[in-house]
Homo-oligomer: A and B are copies of this chain.
Amino acid sequence: MTKTLSLQAPAIFRGPLSALPATLEWVGGADGVLRILDQTQLPLRIEIRDCRTVEDTWEAIRMLRVRGAPAIGVAAAYGLCLGTRPFRAVPADAFLAKVREVGAYLRTCRPTAVNLAWALQRVTEAAEQCTRTGGNTWEAMLLAAHALAVEDAETCRLIGEAGAHLVPEGGGVLTHCNAGALATVAYGTALALLYIAHQRGLRFHVFVDETRPLLQGARLTAFELTTAGLDVTLLCDGAAASLLQSGRVQLVVVGADRIAANGDTANKIGTYGVALAARRHDIPFYVAAPLSTFDRALASGAGIPIEERGADEIRRVLDQPVAPPTVQCYNPAFDVTPAELITGIVTQRGIATPVTAEQIARLFR
């Protein structure tokens, strides 16, 4: 009984969005479930969904019910626990083989965000270490997943603290897609800067690209920022260059799905075009991300795999046709912004600026 209680999900201070259900959370103890806020239904419906199996979790990540690199990592960590729970009683070697098998399966759900592989690795290492020392392996994995969740919220808060001073008092900030509380356990990455600045009493305006095809800017970012009481203006992705030209924006800040060792950054499709327009108008362009988003094994962005998604995300909007039904589509989920267009990368250990391999390496020392 005591043991079960210690496996209960930890309480996490969720900051600006505590009035909403959590982006994702473990509910219960050893027999618990992963509960997610189904982001495909926002902002029209606030629906939670319980993942009881690894297949549920795989589907929830693949279908973007839970999305955002940090949130995907934590969800996958819990998914690994769900997928191995039925095998808790098997011998250690067989159990570890199962851990690796379920981990390999979870790695297939989305290819670009490196946090997913990173989080699975963390939980797998906990299992390996526990096996060596003879503890309760599965319980150690669940505790490792809980630790990841706690860490993610704290990391995001620290990112916000590290970058909040970049927010222009009385000015405008542009963001793309959703790198907010809905993309993490709490606070977000890019939006953490804005939440902390807002908590500090700064007044500023946030411009949000709607972010086609899946409209995460319109559906999620505009929703979470207005829920938290910030001033928001929504625009179509094509209007971003014109907005930056207009002089109303003094800071661009976005999240990241994978950052190479040299600072080249994969983020939601459209980010690269925003970075080009920011450079044209000498507006600082920052990326905000936890260290887990760096893939230091990749020398540059050229090696980042880019997920290509289905044509119907473009041919249809909200399940209604908007284009000839058989037209071919180009639908990469991400693009890569070269490091030289990025003013700085805000992390929980401070800001790498200028964005060079050396400055990034310093964050990891």
Contacts and interface: CB of A to CB of B under 8 A. Distances in A.
Interface stretch (A64-72, A207-215, A283-291, A348-356): A207-215
A212 B236 contact: yes
A222 B226 CA distance: 36
B315 A317 contact: no
A239 B323 contact: no
A232 B328 CA distance: 7
17 contacts: A210-B212, A213-B236, A218-B323, A222-B323, A223-B324, A226-B324, A235-B329, A235-B330, A236-B269, A237-B238, A239-B330, A239-B335, A241-B273, A242-B269, A242-B336, A245-B272, A318-B318
Nearest to A241: B273
A331 interface: yes
B237 A237 contact: yes
A150 interface: no
Contacts of A44: 321
Contacts of A272: 241-242, 245, 277
A48 interface: no
Interface of A: 43-44, 176, 207, 209-213, 215, 218-219, 222-223, 226, 231-243, 245, 268-270, 272-273, 276-277, 280, 311, 314-315, 317-318, 320-324, 327-332, 335-336
Contacts of A331: 235-236, 239
A273 B280 CA distance: 10
Contacts of A219: 322-323
B327 A273 contact: no
Contact of A43 (B241, B323, B328, B332): B323
A218 to B, nearest CB: 4
